[in-house]
Structure 1
Amino acid sequence: MVNNVQNSAPISPLAQPFNWVSVPLEEVINAGLRLEASVYATEAEKAKLKIKNGRYGSISLSQLVENCFYPGRFKRDYRKKSENLMGFIGSAEMLATNPEPQKWMPPNDVVSVIRGQLLLSRSGTIGKVTYVNETLSKLLVSEHAIRISAPKFAGYLYAFFKSEYGYLITNSLTHGSVVSQIEPSHILSIKIPNAPDTLKAEIHQLVMDSFALRDESNRLLQQAEQLLKTALKLPALEVFEQRDNQPYTFSISSQQLSGRFEANFHHPVVQKIEQHLKQHAQAVSSLADSELVSSIFLPGRYKRYYVSPEFGVPFLGGKEILELDPRGEKYLSLKQHGDRIAEELKLKENMILVTRSGTIGKVVLIPSYWENWVASEHLLRVNPKSSELAGYLYVWLNSPWALPLIQRHTYGSVIFEIDQHHLANVSVPLLEKSIMQEINELALQANKLRSQAFEKEQQALAKFESVL
């Protein structure tokens, strides 16, 4: 009993490890007389020294950058989606491999982006970087992303910001007591490794190849969705959302209640989509069909033990799953969770993940490089019966017409959720075998291209590490 009491006693603050670093006065002056400890954080200082003492020395980032800025604040003119509008995304959404905007605005030069720029998140979650490829160039991006123009070696700078060193240094320069931020002047003052131009060019090209593969992957998925749309004669989702009566009311039969009294469950948009599917699909099944899906699984809750990367496996949350590399700082302990990982947590290629809480209905088809990683219990696992169906099921579930069918099952007053039983009831239209096969192959090929894009990016980061 005594031992238990002793073990549960709180640790004195004085017993906690104390980190400190000394800096010369000259560095404080060069940093604009900033006195926040984070500017001179121990890990960031180590990263700076690593770059300074590297084999090729260092160079100011400003010497490779033509322009570095972010737009001013402006009144946002959100409108309902139409052909003449552009998607508007924030600094978190821009990191997705294929961003899907939820807000739409008229074309606006203030927040437009140019192909070839780097975008760096500057507030909230700071230091996340992406490159403006063909996909991203068609969207508007909020003022919370710094635009960096580096015509010659943008890929090299991307590798720097993406590396551990770049991330540590960038985050050490933040300011603000409530919402942390970073300014272009802070970015331009950063020192980066001055690798030979030939090596810079190699790293740059690997990054360009990675983003070109992402573009091609997105084109294939767009082609697959268009095939689905044509085969089912689906109009734009907005057509289903049109209504004439104000206020918006509707009635249903008591036989259709299914034990649910929320209006959202019986929304006319859902009814219209399901009626359309019945009219234009060869047949309508559901995810509960054992001919389509072998299982839909939801892991139980458990206390997680996170460890350093060498002792664990990447742990993915629902927020990052749309990114090419969703790995964050969390690695689940193999020692503590080995059995659970093997039995229910590890991911497999062509498994489909669906977010079940918070933002419900985000869908991803597991690529080969996620194999044996693990994901949180906030993600439902759908195991297609075979790889011949995985791509088709993904394209349908990821389509704008499936989302209302998923979200109709939402329950909860504070945190909205769905579970595996709800997802099993989501309708799946069946088409001619040849069309389903073509859609499936396009989706699987798109996923292979994403795996190749990941490999190219990892090669670029490995080459960058060799510079230090």
Structure 2
Amino acid sequence: MVVEHKELKELLPPLRWCAVTRDQVISNGYRLDTSAYDIDAMEALARVHHNPYGWVYLWSEKGMVKEAYVGGRFKRIYTENKSDIPFFLPSDIESVYPTPSKYISGKTVAPLDDLKVQKGMLLISVSGTIGKTSLVSKKLDKQVFSHDLLRVTFQGPYDLGYVYAYLNTEVGLKLLQSNNYGAVIDHIEPEHLTRLPIPNAPEEVKRSIHEAVVASYDLRDQSNDLIDEAQRLLYEALGLPARMELNPKYYAPDAGFRCFTVKREDLNNRFDASYHIPEVKEILSLIAQNAAEVTTLGDPRVSKEIVLAGVFKRTYVDKNAGAPFLGGRDITLLAPKVEKFLSYAVHKDRINKELKVLENYVLISDRGTIGKVQIVPKHWSGWAVSQNIIKLIPASSDIAGYIYAYLQTPYGEAQIKRETYGAVVDMIDDNSISNVSIPLLKEASVQSRINDLVLEANALRYKAYLKEQEALQQMEAVLKAL
């Protein structure tokens, strides 16, 4: 078949090009391959260099950074005991409700005080996915973080929020992730900030952006405080310790390895040992002691439906023609940087039946890191979720927050992970989640209070999102001020 020249041209991507000076080529080791000169990064650099406010290098005599450093490396002694020292990784910093990925023993020989972060710092991931950023909020203050994070303090009173907003724009992130010629780099050191240009906006503009960012993080702290209070009430009502301390009974405890027996009637057609671990049996016994009733997430009084989307061939489109598509890694974030949009035209029926989420739905990651739980905030309403996320539709708004509060506890998490199956790829499914136990409280007023606290916290997350968007819009205006 002969394709007309005009039709062929329409099928090809638009031609992109840029000019590179001889000095740039020489300085870049005489590299002539296009990968050494990223067009988007060079365009971003030009936008900053031609900003009417002028520009400065971020860490320089006239810049904004006071100090930037990474923590020292050390040999870690990890432990399963959650009474030990919480240890946060770069993947934890963007979470709307930050929790430590690991715990390290107090016997660890290392200057841990040097690894603690302080409120008012900016954290930046320096390897892996470069450029994840977070302010050190009240919840993260004085916590121990991995060395793989850049700790940054600032000169002026408004520089913290201003720089945070800049690094969360496409221009700022692109420049952070590239060298002077635009080539993507795999790792950054503190000295990288001495070569990172930033528009030098007037103090009043910086103040407005900074205050919006700080307000966003204050609202996140308020939200997290409400969730902590909801869980405190839950522990109190069930007579459970906040730190899960179990004493499971094993068969032949002196054997030198863990072993236990299971009755035939308790097998539930599951022959994997992880499903029958005594710890879960003890959890179920503990929550039953002070509950009015222990039921399951599949109970119609708890959920209308539990949905796991099927696997399908996806058609992605421009964001104006598609639904934002969330993956399992996105659900812990306040404002996921969505890069994929499902076509409404192609997937309309599937989006409406399986994928679409609404405010206060509960989401559970079912592959990869199993058991991450999130309650859908208002700004995600109408978005779509992948088959890596199970969607629990609460029976009503009167129990949605309570479900989230319970599943966020170690007791709920252990029950979710118990359902894991798979020889190569661990996963859970909608039937597994339907079988997870959940206690209903004796005092309906306490259960209602827990539910209301979580829903109030979720509403504050939406306000925090709006404040951050306000800051980013102002920062975009700075970058477009030509």
Partner of 1:285: 295
* TM-score, length-scaled by structure 2: 0.89
Shift of 1:33: 8.7
Partner of 2:120: 116
* 2:260 partner SS: coil
Structure 2: how far apart are the matches of 1:208 and 1:27? Answer: 39
Matched AA of 2:385 = A
Structure 2: how far apart are the matches of 1:429 and 1:273? Answer: 11
Q: Does residue 230 in structure 1 map to residue 230 in structure 2?
A: no
Q: Is the 8 A contact 1:350 1:367 kept in 2?
A: yes
Deviates more, 1:216-225 or 1:147-156: 147-156
**Where in structure 2 are the equivalents of 1:110-189 lying within 5 Å?**
110-151=114-155, 152=157, 153-173=159-179, 180-189=186-195
Partner of 1:266: 276
Q: Which residues of structure 1 form unaligned runs of 5+?
A: none
Q: Is the 8 A contact 2:115 2:147 kept in 1?
A: yes
Shift of 1:60: 1.4
Structure 2: how far apart are the matches of 1:71 and 1:179? Answer: 20
Partner of 2:452: 441
Structure 2: how far apart are the matches of 1:35 and 1:436? Answer: 66
Structure 1: how far apart are the matches of 2:139 and 2:207? Answer: 23
**Structure 2 vs 1, CA of residues 368 and 82 (structure 1 numbering), >3 Å: closer, same or farther?**
closer
2:199 aligned to 174, 193, 217, which one?
193
Structure 1: how far apart are the matches of 2:81 and 2:173? Answer: 36
Shift of 1:358: 1.4
Partner of 2:73: 73
Structure 2: how far apart are the matches of 1:379 and 1:242? Answer: 31
Shift of 1:387: 0.5
Matched AA of 2:177 = N
User: Pairwise CA RMSD of aligned residues?
Assistant: 2.5
Structure 1: how far apart are the matches of 2:317 and 2:120? Answer: 37
**Structure 2 vs 1, CA of residues 411 and 237 (structure 1 numbering), >3 Å: closer, same or farther?**
farther
Matched AA of 2:37 = Y
Partner of 1:361: 371
Shift of 1:247: 1.3
Structure 2: how far apart are the matches of 1:80 and 1:356? Answer: 22
Partner of 1:373: 383
Structure 2: how far apart are the matches of 1:174 and 1:268? Answer: 57
Structure 1: how far apart are the matches of 2:140 and 2:26? Answer: 39
Shift of 1:252: 1.5
**Structure 2 vs 1, CA of residues 241 and 372 (structure 1 numbering), >3 Å: closer, same or farther?**
farther
Q: Which residues of structure 2 form unaligned runs of 5+?
A: none
Q: Is the 8 A contact 1:97 1:323 kept in 2?
A: yes
Q: Is the 8 A contact 1:237 1:401 kept in 2?
A: no
Shift of 1:51: 1.7
Shift of 1:357: 1.2
Shift of 1:321: 1.0
Structure 2: how far apart are the matches of 1:310 and 1:27? Answer: 38
Shift of 1:173: 2.7
Q: Is the 8 A contact 1:346 1:372 kept in 2?
A: yes
* 2:342 partner SS: strand
Deviation readout 1:66-85 (Å, 9 max, x if unpaired): 011212321113234354x3
Q: Is the 8 A contact 2:178 2:185 kept in 1?
A: no
* 1:66 partner SS: strand
Shift of 1:434: 0.4
* Number of aligned positions between the proteins: 456
**Structure 2 vs 1, CA of residues 133 and 236 (structure 1 numbering), >3 Å: closer, same or farther?**
closer
Matched AA of 2:51 = G
Q: Is the 8 A contact 1:58 1:193 kept in 2?
A: yes
Shift of 1:193: 1.2
Structure 2: how far apart are the matches of 1:398 and 1:383? Answer: 16
Shift of 1:36: 7.9
**Percentage of identical aligned residues:** 39
Q: Is the 8 A contact 2:89 2:101 kept in 1?
A: no
Structure 1: how far apart are the matches of 2:204 and 2:423? Answer: 57
Shift of 1:39: 5.8
Structure 1: how far apart are the matches of 2:184 and 2:337? Answer: 27
Q: Is the 8 A contact 1:314 1:373 kept in 2?
A: yes
Deviates more, 1:382-391 or 1:337-346: 337-346
1:23 aligned to 20, 23, 29, which one?
20
Partner of 1:49: 46
**Structure 2 vs 1, CA of residues 30 and 140 (structure 1 numbering), >3 Å: closer, same or farther?**
farther
**Structure 2 vs 1, CA of residues 179 and 32 (structure 1 numbering), >3 Å: closer, same or farther?**
closer
Deviation readout 1:173-204 (Å, 9 max, x if unpaired): 399x9992122222221111111111001100
Structure 1: how far apart are the matches of 2:187 and 2:82? Answer: 34
Structure 2: how far apart are the matches of 1:278 and 1:339? Answer: 41
Structure 2: how far apart are the matches of 1:174 and 1:430? Answer: 59
Partner of 1:324: 334
**Structure 2 vs 1, CA of residues 242 and 287 (structure 1 numbering), >3 Å: closer, same or farther?**
closer
Deviation readout 1:63-106 (Å, 9 max, x if unpaired): 100011212321113234354x3311211111101111131134
* TM-score, length-scaled by structure 1: 0.91
Matched AA of 1:103 = K
* 1:248 partner SS: coil
* 1:95 partner SS: coil
2:223 aligned to 217, 226, 230, which one?
217
**Structure 2 vs 1, CA of residues 82 and 285 (structure 1 numbering), >3 Å: closer, same or farther?**
closer
**Structure 2 vs 1, CA of residues 28 and 128 (structure 1 numbering), >3 Å: closer, same or farther?**
farther
Partner of 1:419: 429
Q: Is the 8 A contact 1:316 1:327 kept in 2?
A: no
Q: Does residue 295 in structure 1 map to residue 305 in structure 2?
A: yes
Partner of 2:96: 97
Shift of 1:341: 1.8
1:340 aligned to 350, 358, 362, which one?
350
Matched AA of 1:59 = V
Q: Is the 8 A contact 1:39 1:173 kept in 2?
A: no
**Structure 2 vs 1, CA of residues 32 and 95 (structure 1 numbering), >3 Å: closer, same or farther?**
farther
Deviates more, 1:34-43 or 1:151-160: 34-43
Structure 2: how far apart are the matches of 1:458 and 1:30? Answer: 38
Q: Is the 8 A contact 2:124 2:131 kept in 1?
A: yes
Partner of 1:248: 258
Q: Is the 8 A contact 2:390 2:430 kept in 1?
A: yes
Partner of 2:463: 452
Shift of 1:48: 1.2
Partner of 1:408: 418
Structure 1: how far apart are the matches of 2:92 and 2:318? Answer: 27
**Structure 2 vs 1, CA of residues 50 and 178 (structure 1 numbering), >3 Å: closer, same or farther?**
closer
Shift of 1:313: 2.3
